[in-house]
Amino acid sequence: MEHPYLIEPDNEGQVWLQEFQLSFSLDVNVDVEAVQGNFKEALSTVWKGDAENDSFNRLVIGARLDWRAVAMLRLYARYLKQLGISYSQVFIADTLSRYLDITRNLVALFKSYFDPRYAGDSRSERSEGLARKILEGLDAVENISEDNVIRSYLEVIQATLRTNFFQTFEDGTNKSYISVKLESGKISSGPQTPTCL
Protein backbone atom coordinates (compact mmCIF):
# COMPACT_ATOMS: atom_id res chain seq x y z
CA MET A 1 0.00 0.00 0.00
CA GLU A 2 1.33 3.45 -0.87
CA HIS A 3 0.66 6.73 0.95
CA PRO A 4 1.99 9.93 -0.66
CA TYR A 5 2.48 13.02 1.51
CA LEU A 6 3.09 16.55 0.23
CA ILE A 7 5.61 18.49 2.30
CA GLU A 8 6.03 22.20 1.73
CA PRO A 9 9.06 23.51 3.64
CA ASP A 10 9.29 27.29 4.02
CA ASN A 11 10.41 28.82 0.69
CA GLU A 12 11.82 25.47 -0.44
CA GLY A 13 9.16 24.42 -2.95
CA GLN A 14 7.37 21.09 -2.72
CA VAL A 15 8.65 17.69 -1.70
CA TRP A 16 6.71 14.43 -1.88
CA LEU A 17 7.29 11.68 0.67
CA GLN A 18 6.12 8.21 -0.33
CA GLU A 19 5.36 5.77 2.47
CA PHE A 20 4.94 2.13 1.53
CA GLN A 21 3.36 -0.61 3.57
CA LEU A 22 4.45 -4.08 2.57
CA SER A 23 2.89 -7.43 3.37
CA PHE A 24 4.64 -10.77 2.98
CA SER A 25 2.63 -13.59 1.41
CA LEU A 26 4.52 -16.57 2.83
CA ASP A 27 3.57 -18.13 6.15
CA VAL A 28 7.01 -18.00 7.76
CA ASN A 29 8.53 -16.12 10.64
CA VAL A 30 10.74 -13.39 9.25
CA ASP A 31 13.92 -12.34 11.02
CA VAL A 32 13.89 -8.74 9.82
CA GLU A 33 17.47 -8.05 10.91
CA ALA A 34 18.77 -11.13 9.09
CA VAL A 35 17.08 -10.26 5.78
CA GLN A 36 17.14 -6.47 5.73
CA GLY A 37 20.45 -6.17 3.85
CA ASN A 38 19.40 -8.64 1.15
CA PHE A 39 15.97 -7.03 0.94
CA LYS A 40 17.35 -3.50 0.52
CA GLU A 41 19.80 -4.64 -2.14
CA ALA A 42 17.11 -6.61 -4.01
CA LEU A 43 14.64 -3.71 -3.86
CA SER A 44 17.27 -1.27 -5.12
CA THR A 45 18.31 -3.63 -7.91
CA VAL A 46 14.70 -4.16 -9.03
CA TRP A 47 14.00 -0.41 -8.76
CA LYS A 48 16.95 0.35 -11.07
CA GLY A 49 15.73 -2.28 -13.55
CA ASP A 50 18.76 -4.54 -13.06
CA ALA A 51 16.69 -7.42 -11.67
CA GLU A 52 13.24 -8.71 -12.43
CA ASN A 53 10.17 -8.08 -10.31
CA ASP A 54 8.29 -11.36 -10.01
CA SER A 55 7.19 -14.02 -7.55
CA PHE A 56 10.72 -15.47 -7.31
CA ASN A 57 11.67 -12.41 -5.26
CA ARG A 58 9.73 -13.77 -2.26
CA LEU A 59 12.77 -16.01 -1.79
CA VAL A 60 14.85 -13.00 -0.75
CA ILE A 61 12.92 -12.86 2.51
CA GLY A 62 11.48 -16.37 2.76
CA ALA A 63 14.69 -18.29 2.04
CA ARG A 64 17.03 -15.44 3.07
CA LEU A 65 18.71 -15.40 -0.36
CA ASP A 66 20.38 -12.48 -2.08
CA TRP A 67 18.95 -11.21 -5.35
CA ARG A 68 21.66 -12.92 -7.46
CA ALA A 69 20.87 -16.35 -6.00
CA VAL A 70 17.23 -15.69 -6.86
CA ALA A 71 18.27 -14.68 -10.39
CA MET A 72 20.15 -17.98 -10.70
CA LEU A 73 17.03 -19.92 -9.67
CA ARG A 74 15.03 -17.92 -12.20
CA LEU A 75 17.59 -18.77 -14.91
CA TYR A 76 17.20 -22.49 -14.25
CA ALA A 77 13.39 -22.13 -14.26
CA ARG A 78 13.58 -20.61 -17.72
CA TYR A 79 15.82 -23.40 -18.93
CA LEU A 80 13.35 -25.96 -17.59
CA LYS A 81 10.63 -24.18 -19.58
CA GLN A 82 12.81 -24.44 -22.71
CA LEU A 83 13.10 -28.17 -22.05
CA GLY A 84 9.31 -28.37 -22.08
CA ILE A 85 8.48 -28.62 -18.38
CA SER A 86 4.74 -28.09 -18.23
CA TYR A 87 4.66 -25.90 -15.13
CA SER A 88 4.41 -22.11 -15.26
CA GLN A 89 7.10 -19.82 -13.87
CA VAL A 90 4.64 -18.81 -11.12
CA PHE A 91 4.08 -22.46 -10.15
CA ILE A 92 7.83 -23.05 -10.07
CA ALA A 93 8.38 -19.96 -7.89
CA ASP A 94 5.50 -21.03 -5.62
CA THR A 95 7.06 -24.49 -5.24
CA LEU A 96 10.44 -23.04 -4.27
CA SER A 97 8.66 -20.70 -1.83
CA ARG A 98 6.71 -23.56 -0.28
CA TYR A 99 9.84 -25.64 0.45
CA LEU A 100 12.30 -23.02 1.67
CA ASP A 101 14.75 -25.44 3.29
CA ILE A 102 15.02 -27.42 0.07
CA THR A 103 15.45 -24.20 -1.90
CA ARG A 104 18.27 -23.05 0.38
CA ASN A 105 19.90 -26.45 -0.09
CA LEU A 106 19.60 -26.19 -3.88
CA VAL A 107 21.41 -22.84 -3.76
CA ALA A 108 24.00 -24.26 -1.35
CA LEU A 109 24.54 -27.19 -3.74
CA PHE A 110 25.14 -24.80 -6.64
CA LYS A 111 27.62 -22.85 -4.51
CA SER A 112 29.35 -26.03 -3.34
CA TYR A 113 30.15 -26.83 -6.97
CA PHE A 114 31.29 -23.38 -8.10
CA ASP A 115 32.07 -21.00 -5.24
CA PRO A 116 35.89 -20.64 -5.16
CA ARG A 117 35.75 -20.51 -1.35
CA TYR A 118 34.70 -24.18 -1.31
CA ALA A 119 37.47 -25.41 -3.60
CA GLY A 120 39.40 -28.41 -2.33
CA ASP A 121 39.01 -32.03 -1.35
CA SER A 122 35.90 -31.52 0.77
CA ARG A 123 33.91 -30.13 -2.18
CA SER A 124 32.48 -33.46 -3.34
CA GLU A 125 31.74 -34.55 0.22
CA ARG A 126 29.82 -31.32 0.87
CA SER A 127 27.98 -31.59 -2.48
CA GLU A 128 26.99 -35.21 -1.86
CA GLY A 129 25.67 -34.32 1.58
CA LEU A 130 23.58 -31.45 0.19
CA ALA A 131 22.16 -33.61 -2.63
CA ARG A 132 21.23 -36.23 -0.05
CA LYS A 133 19.49 -33.59 2.12
CA ILE A 134 17.50 -32.37 -0.90
CA LEU A 135 16.36 -35.90 -1.73
CA GLU A 136 15.46 -36.55 1.92
CA GLY A 137 13.50 -33.27 1.95
CA LEU A 138 11.37 -34.61 -0.89
CA ASP A 139 9.75 -37.01 1.60
CA ALA A 140 7.71 -34.03 2.83
CA VAL A 141 6.57 -33.08 -0.69
CA GLU A 142 3.21 -34.72 -1.32
CA ASN A 143 2.33 -33.03 -4.62
CA ILE A 144 3.90 -34.90 -7.57
CA SER A 145 4.17 -31.71 -9.65
CA GLU A 146 6.12 -29.96 -6.90
CA ASP A 147 8.29 -33.05 -6.52
CA ASN A 148 9.01 -32.93 -10.28
CA VAL A 149 10.01 -29.26 -10.08
CA ILE A 150 12.48 -29.86 -7.25
CA ARG A 151 13.94 -32.99 -8.88
CA SER A 152 14.34 -31.04 -12.12
CA TYR A 153 16.27 -28.30 -10.29
CA LEU A 154 18.50 -30.89 -8.66
CA GLU A 155 19.15 -32.50 -12.04
CA VAL A 156 20.06 -29.28 -13.88
CA ILE A 157 22.27 -28.02 -11.04
CA GLN A 158 24.11 -31.35 -10.99
CA ALA A 159 24.46 -31.17 -14.79
CA THR A 160 26.02 -27.70 -14.67
CA LEU A 161 29.65 -27.78 -15.78
CA ARG A 162 30.62 -24.15 -15.18
CA THR A 163 29.23 -20.67 -14.58
CA ASN A 164 30.28 -17.03 -14.45
CA PHE A 165 28.16 -16.53 -11.31
CA PHE A 166 31.18 -15.84 -9.09
CA GLN A 167 33.20 -13.80 -11.60
CA THR A 168 33.53 -10.09 -10.89
CA PHE A 169 34.89 -7.07 -12.68
CA GLU A 170 38.12 -5.43 -11.47
CA ASP A 171 36.15 -3.12 -9.18
CA GLY A 172 34.58 -6.13 -7.44
CA THR A 173 31.09 -5.72 -8.90
CA ASN A 174 29.26 -8.74 -10.29
CA LYS A 175 28.63 -9.19 -13.96
CA SER A 176 25.19 -8.06 -15.06
CA TYR A 177 24.32 -11.50 -16.47
CA ILE A 178 24.57 -15.10 -15.33
CA SER A 179 25.73 -17.84 -17.68
CA VAL A 180 25.88 -21.57 -17.12
CA LYS A 181 27.15 -24.41 -19.28
CA LEU A 182 25.25 -27.65 -18.87
CA GLU A 183 26.08 -31.22 -19.74
CA SER A 184 22.65 -31.75 -21.25
CA GLY A 185 23.19 -35.50 -21.63
CA LYS A 186 22.81 -35.70 -17.83
CA ILE A 187 19.37 -34.07 -18.00
CA SER A 188 16.62 -36.59 -18.61
CA SER A 189 14.56 -34.23 -20.78
CA GLY A 190 17.51 -32.34 -22.30
CA PRO A 191 19.21 -32.42 -25.69
CA GLN A 192 22.20 -34.73 -25.91
CA THR A 193 24.82 -32.04 -26.62
CA PRO A 194 26.27 -29.44 -24.17
CA THR A 195 24.14 -26.34 -23.74
CA CYS A 196 25.18 -22.81 -22.82
CA LEU A 197 22.73 -20.33 -21.28
- Supply the pTM of this predicted model: 0.84
Q: Could you tell me if residue 94 is inside a domain?
A: yes
Please give the pLDDT value at position 95.
97
Q: Could you tell me if residue 18 is inside a domain?
A: yes
Q: Could you tell me if residue 119 is inside a domain?
A: yes
Tens of pLDDT, residues 134-171: 999 999 999 999 999 999 999 999 999 999 999 999 99
CA distance 180 to 197: 5
* 12: containing domain: 2-158
Q: Could you tell me if residue 190 is inside a domain?
A: no
**Low pLDDT (below 70) residues in the chain:** 21-25, 119-123, 190-197
Please give the pLDDT value at position 194.
57
The maximal CA–CA distance of the chain, rounded, in angstroms, is 70
The answer to whether 85 and 189 have CB atoms below 8 angstroms apart is: yes
Sign of CA dihedral 72, 77, 82, 83: positive
What is the number of domains present in the chain?
Answer: 1
- The secondary structure of 2-50 as a DSSP string is EEEEEE--TTS--EEEEEE-----S-S---HHHHHHHHHHHHHHHHTTS
Task: Encode burial over 146-159: b for 16+ CB neighbours within 10 A, e otherwise.
Answer: bebbbebbbbbbbb
User: What are the CA-CA distances from residue 92 to residues 33, 135, 175 (Å)?
Assistant: 28, 18, 25
If phi > 0 it is left, if psi is from -120 to 50 it is alpha, else beta; for residue 21 that is beta
Q: Could you tell me if residue 191 is inside a domain?
A: no
Q: Could you tell me if residue 26 is inside a domain?
A: yes
Please give the pLDDT value at position 24.
66
